[in-house]
Amino acid sequence: MNDINYNEVLISGVINVITDTNGKYIKFGLTTNKYTLNEDKKVYVSLNISRELFNTYQDLFFKGNKVFVKGYLNSYIDQNKKIQSFITVTDISNNPSDITSSRKSPHIRYDPDGVMVWNGKRCESIPPTKEELAEMENLLKDFK
């Protein structure tokens, strides 16, 4: 008997809620559509994303934004002995090909204070010290 299991989830939808639990994960919800032959119903999905991944792609997280998500199904049994299911996110984008074909470029955005953020890391300008400035001036003196 072959014991192969698949647990990868690909889903898209519109963000309907974002909750910071002050823990390792940020919780958010998606509204998507369940299509059947004779009706169109709304489906609500609960997702968890690591704080690190959330910080990298935080510009995608606002209510009403459509996103594409890759993750895996996860669950637990709550205190009332009911199974609670959710998706743990491993990748998120506003471009479906980033999710299905892997990313082709870094994620670049700007923080509210105008500093560029490259894959979640701020690219802040640090002024040179007097010694560094003197060294640069010395290196460039032949070109002045």
Q: Residues 60, 118: one domain?
A: no
Domains contained in the chain, number = 2
**DSSP symbol at 21:** -
Q: Residues 126, 139: one domain?
A: yes
Higher pLDDT, 138 or 4: 138
Q: Residues 27, 96: one domain?
A: yes
Q: Residues 83, 117: one domain?
A: no
Cα 99 from Cα 55, distance rounded (Å): 18
- Rounding to the nearest 10 degrees, give the CA dihedral for residues 125, 131, 136, 142: 160
Q: Is the pLDDT of residue 63 over 90?
A: yes
Q: Residues 15, 79: one domain?
A: yes
Domain range for residue 126? 106-144
pTM of the complete model: 0.69
Indicate the burial class of 66 (C-beta count within 10 angstroms; 0-12, 13-18, 19 or more): middle
Q: Residues 38, 97: one domain?
A: yes
Q: Is the dihedral of CA 35, 13, 90, 45 positive or negative?
A: negative
Q: What is the pLDDT of residues 101-116, one digit of tens each?
A: 877 677 777 877 888 8
